[in-house]
Amino acid sequence: MSKNLGELSGRKGLQDNLFEELGIAARESGTVPTEDIEKLAEKFLMGEANVYGTATFYDFLRPEHKGKKVYVCNGSSCMTASTQEVLKQKLSEHYKPEEIGEMCCLGRCHENSAFNVNGLNYSGDAIDSIGSLKEGDKGTIDKYNVAAHGTPILTNAFPGIDEYYKILSTALNMSAEELLLELKESGLRGRGGAGFPISFKLDSCRNTEGDTKFIVCNADEGDPGAYSDRYLLEKQPHSVLLGMMIAGYITGAKTGVLYIRGEYPESVEIVEQALADLRSKNLLGENILGTNFSYDFKVIKAQGAYICGEETALLSSIEGQRPEVRVRPPYPTHEGLFNKPTVVNNVETLACIPWIVQNGGNKFASIGVGKSTGTKLVSLDGFFNKPGIYEVDMGAPLSVVVEQLGGGFKEEIKAMHIGGPLGGLVPVEKIKDLNISFESFSENGFLLGHASVVCIPKDFPIIQYLEHLFQFTAHESCGKCFPCRLGSTRGYEMIDKARTSDYKMDRKLFTDLINTMEVGSLCALGGGLPLPIRNSLKYFDNELAQYFS
């Protein structure tokens, strides 16, 4: 059925898009009115049940969203920093309880106390100006440390459009095969967690027949604690855009789609301005730079669903379907958006492509260690003395990131959750054993992922953090597969009951539950959650043993 709906949605294409229409319909009240669901179902020849199922899935469209005027970040970093209760108290002086909602990770992990009002994000001491912000004052842009330790690939100063897009001219004077060879030699792997070689995806899409193809930038990877994507979209948008254009040239795609988190409103605005600047320079559209290469972009603002960071759920979302994970094969490079060949890659991966074209694949491959080539952006949260975004050569010791770049911790920390909610929970004593590479983290039983760091202070209970992870997964699950949908909810219930009563969890039952989630889930949401749970049981059993029989 989903393929049929995808084909049907594709008849109207991207310019008249059901998913966007749902967002527009919800602007006034915060949710999609019933009469609009009926009209949209008729307009797009979809069943009302299908449109209703889509609209009620997303945090920013569902009926519970109605009437909300301000939103508090409930991400992991703000939670462990214990800033949000005070924040809610201050907001309650200006808003009714029913006007205060929640959003998951606004990318303000460097200073916490994060909230959203009038469509913009704020953090730090901005809450002290809530009166003027409520009335429409836009406040100030947040600041955080940005630096490179090693080779500055993604943190270099932008030289201007004219100079930077000479790289596009270089690419268009090469054949697609030559560019693919450079990317293969570079060893560039996906920076979103899986570490899959981008050259393989591009080659697969290129070799799949089709008059219409797409390059999709997955800018909806909303790992709490990771704000490197936000940095790139807001501070280095042209590295992402140019990377997508070169990917389009290689595969034969003429359209790039940027699916950007609704929790990053500034990112959407800045990317749209960057695209307007390109159009003013005649660098988009037909026959770019006098060649036969044509390319343009579509920006889509997401509506609050972590599962859309999974590539197939993202594609279903763009099509206006409920964003459920698809069974593979077929893979997106064969049947993706609107059932057309599609390459989906995350922000940081695509942003590396221009540098490789300019400097050569061998140069990129010479940076890093083993199969972890190039550099990696690391996000450090507010528990560091110098929080911010740091670019390090792959292979850089984690101790250098923590002590030199981050300036050490502001207070005593017992663990760092690295790589998002599905990443490994790293006790501080393991810092000395790790370096920033896929292999190092894997060999030690962790996951590099986005390389985001959420610190867990000494006095924050691990059991409470595990409850948060299960609750997060239960809320964000697409619901398609039983192990994730039921397992996450059951895990949350068990931990909550053990934490708040005399109930003791059966350790074998609990182990069976996370094993089932790991082997039975369709995607990394349910399948990845067991990793930090197991890390916790291994390294913090002395703290957790009291909750098991």
State whether residue 309 is helix, strand or coil: helix
Among 433, 456, 479, the domain-final residue is: 456
Amino acid at 293: F
Domains: count for the chain: 5
Dump pLDDT digits (tens) for 21-48. Answer: 999 999 999 999 999 999 999 999 888 9
Shared domain check, 378 and 364: no
State whether residue 270 is helix, strand or coil: helix
Among the listed residues 453, 463, 394, 445, the one whose alpha carbon sits nearest the alpha carbon of residue 420: 453
pLDDT for 4 equals 77
Please say whether the beta carbons of 217 and 256 come within 8 A. Answer: yes
Among the listed residues 193, 213, 454, the one whose alpha carbon sits nearest the alpha carbon of residue 346: 193
Q: Is residue 509 assigned to a domain?
A: yes
Q: In what helix (H) or strand (E) does residue 372 lie, and over which residues does it extend?
A: strand 372-373
Shared domain check, 152 and 56: no
Shared domain check, 198 and 167: yes
- CATH number where 101 lies: 3.40.30.10
Among the listed residues 443, 216, 505, the one whose alpha carbon sits nearest the alpha carbon of residue 349: 216
Region class of 55: left (phi > 0), else alpha (psi between -120 and 50), else beta: alpha
CA atoms in the 13 A half-sphere facing the CB of 77: 33
Shared domain check, 379 and 355: no
- CATH number where 412 lies: 3.10.20.600
Q: Is residue 88 assigned to a domain?
A: yes
Among the listed residues 332, 310, 210, 196, the one whose alpha carbon sits nearest the alpha carbon of residue 259: 310
CA atoms in the 13 A half-sphere facing the CB of 66: 11
Among the listed residues 360, 490, 392, the one whose alpha carbon sits nearest the alpha carbon of residue 149: 392
Among 48, 65, 82, the domain-final residue is: 65
User: Hey, what's the torsion of the CAs at 351, 352, 354, 355, to 10 degrees?
Assistant: 140
**CA distances from residue 277 to 166, 262, 280, 282 in whole angstroms, order as listed:** 15, 22, 5, 9
Question: What DSSP line would sit under 458-487, residue for residue?
Answer: TTS-HHHHHHHHHHHHHHH--S-SHHHHHH
CA atoms in the 13 A half-sphere facing the CB of 167: 27
Q: Is residue 139 assigned to a domain?
A: no
Shared domain check, 347 and 254: yes
Please say whether the beta carbons of 235 and 191 come within 8 A. Answer: no
Q: How far apart are CA 33 and CA 41, in angstroms?
A: 13
Strand order from edge to edge, sheet including 115-117: 100-103, 70-73, 115-117, 120-122
Please list the pLDDT of the chain residue by residue as tens digits (549 residues).
467 777 877 787 898 899 999 999 999 999 999 999 999 999 998 889 999 999 999 999 999 999 999 999 999 999 999 999 999 999 999 999 999 999 999 999 999 999 999 999 999 999 999 999 999 999 888 999 999 999 999 999 999 999 999 999 999 999 999 999 999 999 999 998 778 899 999 999 999 999 999 999 999 988 999 999 999 999 999 999 999 999 999 999 999 999 999 999 999 999 999 999 999 999 999 999 999 999 999 999 999 999 999 999 999 999 999 999 999 999 999 999 999 999 999 999 999 999 999 999 999 999 999 999 999 999 999 999 999 999 999 999 999 999 999 999 999 999 999 999 999 999 999 999 999 999 999 999 999 999 999 999 999 999 999 999 999 999 999 999 999 999 999 999 999 999 999 999 999 999 999 999 999 999 999 999 999 999 999 999 999 999 999
- Angle between helix 530-539 and helix 507-520 axes, rounded to 10 deg: 150
Residues forming a β-bridge with 102: 72
Q: Is residue 403 assigned to a domain?
A: yes
Please say whether the beta carbons of 10 and 340 come within 8 A. Answer: yes
pLDDT for 1 equals 46
Q: Is residue 470 assigned to a domain?
A: yes
Region class of 208: left (phi > 0), else alpha (psi between -120 and 50), else beta: beta
In the chain, the percentage of residues whose pLDDT exceeds 70 is 100
Q: How far apart are CA 126 and CA 305, in angstroms?
A: 26
Shared domain check, 345 and 204: yes
Structural domain for 10, as ranges? 2-65
Q: Is residue 140 assigned to a domain?
A: no
Task: Kindly report the pTM of this predicted structure.
Answer: 0.96
Among 40, 65, 90, the domain-final residue is: 65
pLDDT for 2 equals 67
Dump pLDDT digits (tens) for 120-163. Answer: 999 999 999 999 999 999 988 899 999 999 999 999 999 999 99
Shared domain check, 351 and 215: yes
Dump pLDDT digits (tens) for 517-537. Answer: 999 999 999 999 999 999 999
Looking up tokens 């920093």, which residue turns up?
Answer: 81
Please say whether the beta carbons of 135 and 149 come within 8 A. Answer: no
Please say whether the beta carbons of 52 and 45 come within 8 A. Answer: no
Q: In what helix (H) or strand (E) does residue 235 lie, and over which residues does it extend?
A: helix 228-235
Among the listed residues 401, 369, 396, 374, the one whose alpha carbon sits nearest the alpha carbon of residue 385: 401
Shared domain check, 522 and 499: yes
